[in-house]
Amino acid sequence: MTESKPPAMFISDLRPSRVATIEATVSELQPAREIETRGGRKTRVRNGRLKDPTGEITFILWGAEVDLVELGDRVRIVEGWVKDYQGRPQMSLGRTGKLEKLAPGKQEGWKSPTLG
């Protein structure tokens, strides 16, 4: 587990077509399911929600990523990809992002630019 530092961005700051680093709590996690990719191969996918003091965002995990988190985990997503999906922002690890689990506990030191 990694020590927590204030995140580079908050969920309320996220915009599609950008890379972002955030810290958040896994507030919802759907069961993994298997899908067929455009290339015809099968892979596992799992949707969930991330929450921080400023809001929530849908996130999606692909392949081996689906086993990385559990409900309630505090995580840092480093250089995750934000895209527009059906008119709403959605975050994934993309090609270069990393997911780090953080120690459980209160997000001390977090000061939202929008909530104070």
User: Which secondary structure element, helix H or strand E, spans residue 66, and what is its range?
Assistant: none
- Residue 55 has a pLDDT of 96
Separation CA 47–CA 91 (nearest Å): 10
How much is the average pLDDT of 3-10?
64
Instruction: Output the pLDDT for position 111.
Output: 44
Percent over 90 (pLDDT), the chain:
74
The model's pTM = 0.80
User: Are the CB atoms for 61 and 93 separated by under 8 Å?
Assistant: yes
Question: What would the pLDDT profile of 50-107 be if each residue is shown by its tens digit?
Answer: 999 999 999 999 999 999 999 999 999 999 999 999 999 999 999 889 999 998 765 5
> How would residue 108 be classed by pLDDT, with cut points 50, 70 and 90?
very low
Domain ranges of the chain: 11-102
pLDDT band for position 6 (cuts 50, 70, 90): low
Mean pLDDT over each residue of the chain, to the nearest integer: 86
State the pLDDT at residue 110: 45
What is the CATH class of 11-102? mainly beta
- Structure tokens of 111? 């000061």
Whether 109 and 84 have beta carbons less than 8 Å apart is answered as no
